[in-house]
Chain A
Amino acid sequence: MRKALTGLTLVAALALAACGRPVDPATIGGADEIPPGPGLLTGPSGELSHTF
């Protein structure tokens, strides 16, 4: 039973890995930080930015 469960888990993990598409590590935010990337009001830079 344990072997069957382990096998099923591995198959499921491999299937998930096969059907997904790679992610960009730069889009992964740190713990307890404002995430990188665009926001509700902001562009690709992720910030409402202005240069004087």
Chain B
Amino acid sequence: MKRILFGASAAALLLATPGLAQSNAEVMRQLQAMQAQIEALKAEVDSAKAEAAAARTQSAAAETKVTAATAEGGALVSGGKTGVRVSLSGQVNRGVLFTDDGDSTDAFFVDNDNSSTRIRILGEADYDENTTIGTNIEVQFESNSTADVNQNSKRNVGNDNFTQRKLELYVDNKQLGRLTLGQGDTASNGTSEQDLSGTTVIGYSGVTDFAGGLFVRDSNTNALTGLTINKVTSNLDGLSRDDRIRYDTPKFSGFSLATSAVADDRYDVALFYGDRLGDVEVRGAVSYASASASGTANAFDIVNGSVSALHVPSGVSATFAAGTRDTDNQDNDTTFYYGKLGYQTNFFDFGKTAISADLYYGEEFVTADDETFSVGLQLVQNIKKVGAELYGGFRLYDYDDSATDYETLYGVMVGARVKF
């Protein structure tokens, strides 16, 4: 039986031999194809590895570049010129304003108009060792400005966009002075505001800025009048900011002159002083400004000035400002006087402390017989490490004329200004 089975198997094997040979050849072809595919995949893997390595190298190079740029000052852009300096700075100044107008008390979350929230970009390049060419873009963004909020509008008041402060270019020469063109300070702007008290963020001669939008209340009818603090106070600070051409002389023994011209026949001239006299730091300014009539406005002339002195060893300062505006076709000559006593010192290592008290008197802002009186207290604590100032202030406004009795208006503001 075994022999029969062996013989059958051998016969079957013999019969199957040609098919087996054919199958082996097919297997070989498949193996060769697979080998080719494996080699192709290997090549792709090698290529991917090379790309990954290149990407890692590129990433490391980029990281090194970012680190270096950040260490240099944070600028991650490249310029088309060399030797051009670009500087970015700004501030956020927010507070809470509490007011009492004689009948109602209110609380406002405000942008402090004493020094509004803003951003500034300066660009400068040296033409030669004496001449510098520069640009200055400074814009503010005030939400709920103290200049705008009032008893009837407490939220979402004011412009919901940037508004212009300075958009100007200049050429500055050490021997010849500076020529500036564009939107910015006229020569007389700031001449009522020389102040070395260190508390201007919460109070200065521009007493309007503390709560300018508030309406004054009629004592007899208890109704709000149409008079706001903006209308009944001013520090008559020349021609403010405008689109102008301005020239500033170099400083001579602490003195410098400036003049500017604006459209509508507006022009001004100002004299500035800033120097150290022994232990006393002094800054002062005086100006004359003239504006012809334009539109519905009457022509006017303004003469104004201010001086501030700081006794450096003691930290005691005194500031005085005054001005008058003569308006054509009006009987009233608007006038104001302002005085401030201040004290500042480094009580704490983290930043100086400044306190001050001021008085303001103005007359003939609306009628020929009106008077405005204001008194203020200011406290500012600097935190040097983070560029911050914490402040608190009080201000009283009292407006009178012969026709109506008005309530005295009180305000308290606390807040912080952080420079970045």
Q: Which residues of A contact B (CB under 8 A)?
A: 13, 16-17, 19-23, 25, 27-35, 37-43, 45-52
Q: Does the CB pair A50–B198 fall under 8 Å? A: no
Enumerate chain A residues within 8 angstroms of B90, measured Cβ to Cβ. Answer: 34
Q: Does the CB pair B91–A48 fall under 8 Å? A: no
Interface residues of B in 69-89 (CB under 8 A from A): 72-75, 78-79, 81-89
Per-residue 0/1 for B265-278: is the Cβ within 8 Å of any A Cβ (1 yes, 0 no)?
00000000000100
B53 at the interface (CB under 8 A from A): no
Closest partner residue, chain A, to B195 (CB atom): A31
Closest partner residue, chain A, to B193 (CB atom): A31
Contact A20:B205 (CB < 8 A) given known A34-B90, A39-B89, A48-B73: no
Measured CB to CB, the closest approach of chain A to B327, in angstroms, equals 24
Q: Does the CB pair A34–B78 fall under 8 Å? A: no
Enumerate chain A residues within 8 angstroms of B72, measured Cβ to Cβ. Answer: 50
Enumerate chain B residues within 8 angstroms of A21, measured Cβ to Cβ. Answer: 345-346
Q: Which residues of B contact A (CB under 8 A)?
A: 72-75, 78-79, 81-91, 114-116, 118, 120, 122, 190, 193-198, 200-201, 204-206, 209, 276, 281, 310, 312-316, 343-347, 352, 384-389, 417-420
Residue from B75, B81, B198 in contact with A23 in the complex, judged by beta carbons closer than 8 Å: B198
Q: Does the CB pair A37–B312 fall under 8 Å? A: no
Q: Does the CB pair A22–B420 fall under 8 Å? A: no
Residue from B81, B120, B190, B345 in contact with A52 in the complex, judged by beta carbons closer than 8 Å: B81
Closest 6 CB pairs of A and B: A20-B345, A50-B75, A52-B79, A39-B387, A39-B419, A47-B87
Cα(A8)–Cα(B81), bound, Å:
63
Cα(A30)–Cα(B90), bound, Å:
15
Residue from A17, A28, A49 in contact with B73 in the complex, judged by beta carbons closer than 8 Å: A49
Cα(A34)–Cα(B389), bound, Å:
12
Contact A16:B345 (CB < 8 A) given known A33-B115, A37-B387: yes
